[in-house]
Structure 1
Amino acid sequence: MINTVKDLAAEALFVSCLQPSEDPSRTAVEEAITSMILLYGSDGCAAGVATEFGDHPDVAVRRMRWVQTELAEVVTMGAPAMR
């Protein structure tokens, strides 16, 4: 179950407009994930990832590495951010 949630969060962040160059805050990452899940749902996020890997695999690999790094930082920080 936890892996499914992590996978969905990764897909949602991947399809978001956030860019590594923005050095987004933890709150921005969490909000982007939530927004994309609400906007596209789990199937839509997965489809967006699949499309990018099919169309631009070299760029998609770099973006997914960034996504995984961002998610690891969010997870290691513990409880949800205070608003």
Structure 2
Amino acid sequence: MTTIELAQVLFTSALQPSDILTSDRVRTVIDDRLCACGGDTAVCAAYVAQEAGDHPDAFAARMRWALGAVTAAYPAYRLAA
């Protein structure tokens, strides 16, 4: 999976920037959310697109947060953008 795909999955989770973010927690949340989506990243991508249209002001900040959290949670495994 790419960094963007993982960030989209994290974006759709209930995890918030104000939560305590450890690499293990971020990876667990991504795994759990991906399972909830039936393993289909397109389901998460569709939700992200809907949120971008409905709340463009909040979308950018949350996606930046999700991208940063994914990058921090997977430092040894450099993901493709």
Q: TM > 0.5 between the two?
A: yes
Q: Which amino acid aligns with 1:39?
A: A
**Secondary structure of 2:15's aligned partner:** coil
Q: Which amino acid aligns with 1:55?
A: D
Structure 2 partner of 1:71: 70
In structure 1, runs of 5+ residues without a counterpart are: none
Q: Which runs of 4+ in 1 moved over 6 A?
A: none
Distance 1:17 1:23 in 2: 13
Q: 1:34: Cα distance to partner?
A: 0.8
**Normalization by structure 1: what TM-score?**
0.81
- Which of the pair is proportionally richer in helix? 1
Q: 1:72: Cα distance to partner?
A: 1.6
Q: 1:48: Cα distance to partner?
A: 0.9
Q: 1:49: Cα distance to partner?
A: 0.4
Give aligned pairs, total. Answer: 75
Structure 2 partner of 1:39: 36
Q: 1:33: Cα distance to partner?
A: 0.7
Corresponding position: 1:11 with 2:8: yes
Q: Which amino acid aligns with 1:5?
A: T
Structure 2 partner of 1:55: 54
Distance 1:13 1:68 in 2: 9
Q: Which amino acid aligns with 2:50?
A: T
Structure 2 partner of 1:30: 27
Q: Which amino acid aligns with 2:55?
A: H
Q: 1:42: Cα distance to partner?
A: 1.0
Q: Would you say the 8 A contact 2:3–2:67 is kept in 1?
A: no
